[in-house]
Amino acid sequence: MEFPQSMPRRHMLAGSAAALGTLGLASWTSGAHAQVAAAKPLPAYAGWKDPKALIVHSSNTMETRRSAFGTSVLTPTDQLYVRNNLPPPDASILDNRDAWSISIEGVKNPRTFSLGELKTMGLETVATVLQCSGNGRGFFPSKPSGTQWTVGAAGCVFWSGVPVRTVVAALGGGVDGTVYLTGTGGEKLPDGVDPLSVLVERSVPIEALGDAILAWELNGEPIPLAHGGPLRLVVPGYQGVNNIKYIKRLALTPQQSKARIMASSYRLSPPGTKSSPDQRSVWEMVVKSWINGPLSEEGPLKAGMTQIHGVAFAGTQPVQGVEVSVDGGATWSRAQLIGPDLGRFAWRQFVLPVRLTPGTHVLASRATDAAGHAQPAEREENIRGYNNNSWRDHAVTVTVA
């Protein structure tokens, strides 16, 4: 199968993946190919993604390569990571997007809306960092089970949809005693298991309602299936798992969901403990940054001037500043924030010009947010490997010739 030379390489490969999909070969599972050392192919539902930009961990977990982030003002959808807790619903749910329905509960006048109706109610666009709470798990020396993400289970994207506050207000506001916003995903649950053990249902503090949107557009296009289309709950500043895909129910609730994904998973469980509901959940993201370039993955860098660049974000807080070190954290210089400020939920690009001499250098960055939180040197240890924002873990070693 040959393609015209002028077609970007990623699309040649995407075409190949599509061809594999036709033959049923792309519908593999992690286990089936565990003995194959070569790069895993993209699963069929994400076959349109850029395979050169992604590390395929499994059919439900794909990570953006650090080298693919570029200067990272935003993450193109074909390079954005994927993390599904269950396999996505059948693609036929996109056949008539406007017919998708969602039940709004815990309000004075509960009712069901079609997506077509939601589109008449309001419109907002917000840029957010979307990040898996396990991003950086691969740096934990304790090797918690789960996908060994490094930096690429994150991206900065635009969402468009209707503000949740608008929908709630239209239904008379919340009923008394509701203190959580609880979203339920529309995935098909496997047979023969306790539904609560697999149901994708998450609760966030009701304060998050003010910024949340029910989104139907990602980066200017209808949300693809892999990212939760036709309708996704976006909770700006909160870890990815709280941004419920294929959302079919949104409720103001007095209690947190009893689903396992809320009750015990996604908790910051200290070493030596078992996960339990009294431990902190992975809600707001914490202040974090990393360097995306230069990297010496493909050979030593040239000695001389270079521009160290990366991204920084801080959950619901604006980024105040970023410092960069070229000596593994012994000394630090203030980087410049560049590019458009997409709002407090987005990341900022930073850059620092430095002169690199021949040898090996450890490049690190540490961000500070507007509330005064500084990115720490060390991760907060926890048995599931969540919320890693250690600047030391995210440093990169480059060789310069």
CB under 8 A: which stretch of 138-146, 196-204, 259-267, 340-348 binds a copy of itself? 340-348
366 close to 334: Cβ distance less than 8 angstroms: no
Of 318, 321, 339, 376, the one binding a copy of itself (CB under 8 A) is 339
295 part of the interface to a copy of itself, by CB under 8 A: no
Rule CB under 8 A: which of 222-241 touch a copy of itself? 222, 224-225
12 part of the interface to a copy of itself, by CB under 8 A: yes
Of 33, 67, 73, 110, the one binding a copy of itself (CB under 8 A) is 73
CB of 14 to a copy of itself, least distance (A): 7
With CB under 8 A as the rule, give the number of residues binding a copy of itself.
Answer: 70
CB-based burial, 82-105: b 16+ in 10 Å, e otherwise: bbbbbebbeeebeeebeebbbebb
238 close to 129: Cβ distance less than 8 angstroms: no
Of 47, 183, 236, 240, the one binding a copy of itself (CB under 8 A) is 47
367 part of the interface to a copy of itself, by CB under 8 A: no
303 part of the interface to a copy of itself, by CB under 8 A: no
CB-based burial, 277-316: b 16+ in 10 Å, e otherwise: eebebbbbbbbbbbbbbbbbeeeebeeeebebbbbbbbbb
304 part of the interface to a copy of itself, by CB under 8 A: yes
- Between vectors from CA 282 to CA 390 and to CA 205, what angle results, nearest 5°? 135
CB under 8 A: which stretch of 18-26, 241-249, 275-283, 316-324 binds a copy of itself? 18-26
Rounded Cα distance between 317 and 285, Å, is 9
- Where on the phi/psi map is residue 359: left (φ > 0), alpha (ψ -120 to 50), or beta? left
79 part of the interface to a copy of itself, by CB under 8 A: yes
Rounded Cα distance between 235 and 72, Å, is 21
Binding string, 143-182, against a copy of itself, x = CB under 8 A?
A: ---------------x-x----------------------
CB-based burial, 182-209: b 16+ in 10 Å, e otherwise: bbbbbbeeeeeeeeeebbbbbbbebebb
Which residues contact a copy of itself by CB under 8 A? 1-8, 10-12, 14-15, 18, 21-22, 26, 44-45, 47-48, 69-77, 79, 88, 90-92, 116, 119-127, 158, 160, 217, 219-222, 224-225, 302, 304-307, 309, 338-343, 346, 349, 351, 353
